[in-house]
Amino acid sequence: MYQVPENVKAAIEFDPWLKPYGQVLSERRYLADKWSYDIKHATPDGSEQSLSQFARDSYKSYGLHVNPKTNEITYKEWAPNAKNAFLVGEFNNWEKYTHQLEGKDEFGNFSITIPPTKTGEAAIPHDSKIKVMFQLEDGTEIYRLPAWITRATQPSKETSKQYGPAYEGRFWNPPQPYKFKNSRPKFNEKLNSLRIYEAHVGISSPEPKVTSYKEFTQKILPRIKYLGYDAIQLMAIMEHAYYASFGYQVTNFFAASSRYGTPEDLKELVDTAHGMGILVLLDVVHSHASKNVEDGLNRFDGSDHQYFHSLSSGRGEHPLWDSRLFNYGSFEVQRFLLANLAYYIDVYKFDGFRFDGVTSMLYLHHGVGEGGAFSGDYDEYLSKERSAVDHEALAYLMLANDLVHELLPQSAVTIAEDVSGYPTLCLPRSMGGAGFDYRLAMALPDMWIKLLKEKKDDDWDIGNIVFTLTNRRHGEKVVSYCESHDQALVGDKTLAFWLMDAAMYTDMTVLKELSLVIDRGIALHKMIRLLTHSLGGEAYLNFEGNEFGHPEWLDFPNVNNNDSYHYARRQFNLVDDHLLRYRHLNDFDRAMQLCEKKHQWLNTPQAYVSLKHEVDKVIVFERNGLLFIFNFHPTNSFTDYRVGVDQAGCYRIVLNSDRDEFGGHDRIDESSKFYTTDLEWNNRRNFLQVYIPSRTAIVLALEK
């Protein structure tokens, strides 16, 4: 008789359909557990260390560090292909051989200790330029930025002309380091909802420029707080030499991007958000790395396989992203990436991570081509014959989740950007899952855009909309969203643009009569967001600017637009102009977030949908005691429309998309009370009757 492996027994009891794949799941978990065991016993004396201790000791020993008591500087670097290593910089007038590192040891590490100056100061001045020079076995000398560098800056025009455009390493040792004032907000998914505001610091201004950390702290954080979001997801923080990569071609993993200011400025941003009760998540890129050599990790020690799979293996490059792929099976790569997570948690006080490119990590085909066409058949993920899962990448993700939750037992949030639907990805590690808290519901924005592009309003398939919004794995939580940064990029269009297009430039003023295009656009924009928010997942995400229907796409300065910043910005000025209708969408978004904050539906079981009426275009469902009613019909309003509800009593409206302040027509009397009738309707024990105007959504709550 088949015995379910003990280490995945809980996952299989939770989902019995996994039973035929118990051995595969067990082997995948065993690999991560073995690595965890190896790490915990990888100490010089053989004593046991925690995963947290390993990660923390790593970022505190590798790279450049100053002893605060003695001002002695230590530097340690792993470069197994190099013969010799030298530290050079402004501090020694770029003399090549004055500061040779000791080494290398049996593991390929070089190190040096630099005593303070005669006056007791650190021998390397704060924020001065620095590099490491390696001598290879053949005598070649190569210059690199230290792999663990914590600050890298763009060269001046003069330096760039002389030495090239590569970023410059800096020795960061501020005389007055930022001191955090606020404690982290606690997050418990049973008690708190997760409403995420996805933001890119650099574009967070109406002006065509790169916005600073300080400007974001002073001007954007209050907006996010006002809107009612309780988490921020910051993009493009890890240093990237190419701005137009949106932060997804990382060159320096431990350096917070200098485009927006100093590391201390970022600390202030996170601290200020914490003071507002807002969690701060980092969009972390461990799925790949920039191919840059002079200021990145590529060919760091002269070899092509130090941090990455070798190019000759066929696994060293991403087929579409023009980037290098990590060798997650390497102990030193595990050290580097796990330490990277601990560093951002400890030093910058981030509360968790959205892991980019998880689908690419999970599969040897990276979700590209025929291999990326997932049907949901378990064989595609778990069959030894059919699946193309990268076991080492999966094991790394398991360790990463172990570490984050160990470091942040009261506030950790991990989100996987996965489109494949890999089973057990968001089950706890203790059950045999990968340990993520959430995955992104990536099918939802595709559905909405496909609808708006291809279907007339009369032809919307209500049943299919509901199916797509509720089609998720039981017990594995998802972050729902209508559109993220992906849908804002040039070449695509935001929902607001699909709905209203050029009319947004001419007809959004309240000084003109409301046009049919704008009326439809505003109404559907609100309804799509509320339906996705309330039915689509266990958390919600919005990309900055989309809450008020940002009228333009996003395009970073590059050679194709003459390095223009015109589209690399968010026009918050449109919201503040009370003669424009953008404020209506903004105010509705706030009302939606605050309604959820008060009544909490996100962190509750999936809704029960009692009605999907194709002719009336009406959707009705209940979630956490609330009754949601949507009328998507373009022209028909319904009087005394009968809807089922399980719990008897008197109901009141708590959210109404048709309010005048939300750009609606004020057709609903919100003082009305709705009493249930004890008669089964649509498989619910009671019903009530409501007036639901066309293109309107209302939410009712039981009167206490």
Q: Which residues contact 336 (CB under 8 A, 6 or more apart)?
A: 58, 147, 148, 253, 307
As a whole number of Å, the CA-based R_g of the chain is 27
Is 417 designated active site?
Answer: yes
Lowest mean pLDDT among 172-186, 263-277, 333-347, 364-378: 364-378
Say what the pLDDT of residue 161 is. 59
Whether the CA torsion 505, 509, 513, 517 is positive or negative: it is positive
pLDDT tens profile 659-701: 999 999 999 999 999 999 999 999 999 999 999 999 999 999 9
User: Using CA atoms, how far apart are residues 30 and 306, in angstroms rounded to an integer?
Assistant: 25
Average pLDDT over residues 8-34: 96
Say what the pLDDT of residue 165 is. 82
Say what the pLDDT of residue 3 is. 84
Say whether domain 608-702 belongs to CATH 2.60.40.1150: no
CB atoms within 10 A of CB 530: 24
Say yes or no to pLDDT of 1 above 60. no
Closest C-alpha to 301, from 60, 63, 83, 138: 83
Cβ atoms of 657 and 664 closer than 8 Å: yes
Output the furthest CA–CA distance in the chain (Å, rounded).
Answer: 90
User: Using CA atoms, how far apart are residues 587 and 380, in angstroms rounded to an integer?
Assistant: 44
Please give the residue that has the higher pLDDT: either 369 or 325.
Answer: 325
What letter would DSSP give residue 143? E
Say what the pLDDT of residue 384 is. 85
Average pLDDT over residues 574-601: 97
What letter would DSSP give residue 608? E
Say what the pLDDT of residue 695 is. 98
Closest C-alpha to 414, from 441, 381, 436: 436
The kind and range of the H/E element at 542 are strand 539-543
Topology of domain 54-169, CATH = Immunoglobulin-like (2.60.40)
Closest C-alpha to 699, from 489, 533, 570: 533
Q: What residue ranges of the chain are covered by domains with CATH 2.60.40.10?
A: 54-169
User: Using CA atoms, how far apart are residues 477 and 602, in angstroms rounded to an integer?
Assistant: 10
Is 356 designated active site?
Answer: yes
Token output for 355:
């892991």
Lowest mean pLDDT among 116-125, 298-307, 483-492: 483-492
Say what the pLDDT of residue 485 is. 85
Percent of the chain with pLDDT over 90: 90
Which is catalytic among the residues 215, 239, 351, 417?
Answer: 417
Say what the pLDDT of residue 579 is. 97
For residue 84, the SS3 value is strand
Say what the pLDDT of residue 487 is. 79
Closest C-alpha to 403, from 20, 54, 41, 28: 54
Say what the pLDDT of residue 369 is. 82
> Which region holds residue 295: left if phi is over 0, alpha if psi is between -120 and 50, else beta?
alpha
Which amino acid is present at 670?
E
Which amino acid is present at 139?
G
pLDDT tens profile 148-183: 999 999 998 766 655 668 999 999 999 999 999 999
Average pLDDT over residues 592-604: 97
* pLDDT confidence bin for 233, thresholds 50/70/90: very high
The kind and range of the H/E element at 340 are helix 331-347
User: Using CA atoms, how far apart are residues 189 and 18, in angstroms rounded to an integer?
Assistant: 26
Using the structure block, give the residue that is written with the tokens 């690199």: 144
Q: Calculate helix-pair angle for 51-61, 22-40, nearest 10 degrees.
A: 50
What letter would DSSP give residue 391? H
Q: What is the pLDDT of the chain when averaged over all its residues?
A: 95
Which is catalytic among the residues 356, 380, 596, 658?
Answer: 356
Say yes or no to pLDDT of 571 above 80. yes
Cβ atoms of 554 and 492 closer than 8 Å: no
Say what the pLDDT of residue 163 is. 62
Read off the pTM: 0.97
Q: How far is CA 29 from CA 52, 339, 348, in A?
A: 19, 21, 31
Closest C-alpha to 367, from 389, 386, 384, 383: 389
Closest C-alpha to 227, from 198, 192, 186: 198
pLDDT tens profile 45-56: 888 999 999 999
* pLDDT confidence bin for 399, thresholds 50/70/90: very high
DSSP tally for the chain: helices H, then strands E: 18, 26
Cβ atoms of 28 and 381 closer than 8 Å: no
Say what the pLDDT of residue 386 is. 82
Q: What residue ranges of the chain are covered by domains with CATH 2.60.40.1180?
A: 608-702
User: Using CA atoms, how far apart are residues 194 and 230, in angstroms rounded to an integer?
Assistant: 6
* pLDDT confidence bin for 103, thresholds 50/70/90: confident
pLDDT tens profile 293-325: 999 999 999 999 999 999 999 999 999 999 999
Say what the pLDDT of residue 162 is. 59
Q: Which residues contact 45 (CB under 8 A, 6 or more apart)?
A: none
Q: How far is CA 555 from the centre of its chain?
A: 19
User: Using CA atoms, how far apart are residues 577 and 489, in angstroms rounded to an integer?
Assistant: 25
